[in-house]
Amino acid sequence: MTFTDYVFEFSSELNKTAIIDKKNISYSDLYCKVLMISHNIKKINIVKEDKILLISENSPFFIESYFGIIKSGCTCVPLNPTLSKNDIEYIINSCNPKAIFIEKRFLDNMRNLINKDIKIVTEETLNNLLLDKECTSNNREEEEIDFKNSVAVILFTSGSTARPKGVMLTHHNLCHNTNSIIEYLSLNSEDRIEVVLPFYYCFGTSLLHTHLRVGGSLVINNKFMFPETVLDDIEKYECTGFAGVPSNYQILLRKSSIKDRNLKSLRYVAQAGGRLPDSFIKEVRQALVGVDVFIMYGQTEATARLSYLPPNMLDEKMGSIGKGIPGTLLKVIDKEGNEVKVDEIGEVVALGENIMKGYFNDEEETRKVIRNGYLYTGDLATVDEDGYIYIVAREKQIIKSGGNRISPKEIENIIIQIPSVIEAAVIGIQDDILGEAVKAFVVLNDEVLKVDEKYIIDYCKDKLPSYKIPKYVVFLEGLPKNSSGKVMMGDLK
């Protein structure tokens, strides 16, 4: 059994719609193509856990290839098509892939990175391959793999090192995390998700896993730069769910008509990928009355999800990431490994079947983050009297100024309360006297009253102690983000 078999266990022969893109694709058609891809991978002598790269934007080609590769027993390595050539060359050299499934439009930029021994498969060659084939029970052979230990997927993520790190996720990791997410979101076959997050990102991949497992459906939207199209899709296709990172919600609230729409089909929205300021969470709830708002927390190293805050706890526990998802233990510990007391700061650690096998070809980095079975997240947090966790900052992002330890998130949450501000990010920069000084980067909405540096600083003076007030304020047209929508703090530095 493979993770693909688990995902399509109850849905492989359904005639209902699985994917809505340029056209509707049924479960039976989708699974037929998955089987044929798996069958043809085996025919060209690619064996279990050989690496196969997948380079594509969200599309039926991505989905069919992704599950076909996993079904074959090989390891799928989805990559961001916009990665630098240096990073892609590094990953190719590290993984030694036997094949690359790639959308044709990305191929020209990468030809000189791919040696002649690597099999290239585009959507065109895949279509030709499938034209004369039939989907029959003869292609449904079970792949003998070690479900618990075999690596199904490697997701490359940028880390503290100069090179991307490959997170190895087993078939079991994927299955466990998928089950947990389905449980706390109460997903079923009636759910339909509007997808703007890329599938090569663990948050986006989790949407794919969960909705296909329950027999639901996905609407693919690769046009978030035009946020009205997202709302149009939700209305047109009667989507029950939407998922996004903080910037998605900030843009929808400031640059779209979401507050004036009647999105009556929506049952829930989910947010992860960084902390959405409290003021925006409140705006989301006001804009989407009656819609459940799930605040979540996770890491690629945990397959996708680590915790969630139930919607009915938002008022009481605003700002919290909640508690561990079903089957995952989350703790906040001090330097000695003891659980912190209420309001003390410590590091978030996690224990569960969703924790990665390790980093690909990097035992040293693996040992740093996985100790005694626990994943050390690098995130600093406090715990309240009821056990709810509140992220303070990444350890490496804490600002040390004049003997004080400052959380950038606290300052960002103040600045973002200004109606003219769409988003803000705060970092520490070298200062000869303080050690580090606070610097704020601010993005304004042109349609609202003009705000200058003095306005920002004066606003902070009214709400923060003196040592937390930004010394510098810089206005940008937009914060630098990766393709998943996360702010790239290193670029701001």
Q: How many Cα atoms within 13 Å fall on the side-chain side of residue 80?
A: 21
Higher local confidence (pLDDT), 28 or 141: 28
Question: Is a pLDDT exceeding 60 seen at residue 141?
Answer: no
Q: What is the pLDDT of residues 144-199, one digit of tens each?
A: 789 999 999 999 986 444 578 999 999 999 999 999 999 999 999 999 999 999 99
Complete domains list, the chain, with CATH: 3-145 (3.40.50.980), 185-394 (3.40.50.12780), 403-492 (3.30.300.30)
d(CA 471, CA 461): 11
Region of poorest pLDDT, from 172-186, 368-382, 406-420: 406-420
Q: What is the full DSSP assignment across 343-411?
A: T--EEEEEEETTS-SEETT-HHHHHHHEETTEEEEEEEEEE-TTS-EEEEEEGGG-EEETTEEE-HHHH
d(CA 205, CA 114): 26
| Predicted local confidence at residue 129, as pLDDT | 67
State the average pLDDT over residues 53-58: 96
- Name the nearest CA neighbour of 217 among 6, 21, 3: 21
Q: What is the pLDDT of residues 303-323, one digit of tens each?
A: 999 999 999 999 999 999 999
Residues paired with 423 in a beta bridge: 443
Question: Is a pLDDT exceeding 50 seen at residue 137?
Answer: no
State the average pLDDT over residues 24-35: 95
* Whole-number CA gyration radius for the chain: 23
Band (pLDDT 50/70/90 cuts) for residue 455 is very high
| Predicted local confidence at residue 449, as pLDDT | 64
Output the average pLDDT for the chain.
90
DSSP 298: -
- Looking at the chain, the whole-number percentage of residues with pLDDT higher than 90 is 69
- Name the nearest CA neighbour of 69 among 52, 57, 81: 52
Band (pLDDT 50/70/90 cuts) for residue 371 is very high
Alpha helices in 121-201 (DSSP H): 123-131, 171-185
Residue 472's φ and ψ, nearest 5 degrees, are -130, 145
Burial of 331 (0-12, 13-18, 19+ CB in 10 A): buried
DSSP 275: P
The bridge status of strand 389-394 relative to strand 374-383 is antiparallel
d(CA 147, CA 353): 12
Question: Is a pLDDT exceeding 70 seen at residue 391?
Answer: yes
Question: Is a pLDDT exceeding 90 seen at residue 142?
Answer: no
8 A C-beta contact, residue 479 and residue 425: yes
Q: What are the tokens at 189?
A: 């076959």
| Predicted local confidence at residue 221, as pLDDT | 97
